[in-house]
Amino acid sequence: MKEYQLSKKIIDVSIGDSVRIIRELQELSQNQLSTLTGIPQSTISAIEHNKVNLGVERAKVLARALKCHPAVLVFPGWNIEQEKAA
């Protein structure tokens, strides 16, 4: 079996970036995501620009609409090897 090498981290991704990237990968506009979630488009824009905190409840709502786990949105740069749990 081949041994795999860990990929190298190229950029840091913020919470807002992760929301935008996943939304764009699903080919959704901010307006469409707003309709799916009930979160105002202006709030989605503010989240994507890191002007408003995502929060746990909004993360759950967005994750359902984006069909991903909330942790993908909340912890975009998490590396279990480098981070220590409390």
- Map out the domains of the chain as residue ranges: 15-74
**In angstroms, rounded to a whole number, what is the distance separating the alpha carbons of residues 4 and 24?**
29
List, for residues 27-50, the tens digit of each pLDDT value: 999 999 999 999 999 999 999 999
CA-to-CA dists, residue 85 to 31, 81, 82, angstroms = 37, 10, 10
| pLDDT at res. 3 | 82
| pLDDT at res. 85 | 56
**In angstroms, rounded to a whole number, what is the distance separating the alpha carbons of residues 28 and 22?**
9
| pLDDT at res. 9 | 66
| pLDDT at res. 53 | 92
Topology (CATH) of 15-74: 434 Repressor (Amino-terminal Domain) (1.10.260)
Residues in the chain where the model's pLDDT stays below 50 = none
| pLDDT at res. 81 | 64
Q: Which two tokens stand for residue 42?
A: 């202006």
| pLDDT at res. 56 | 92
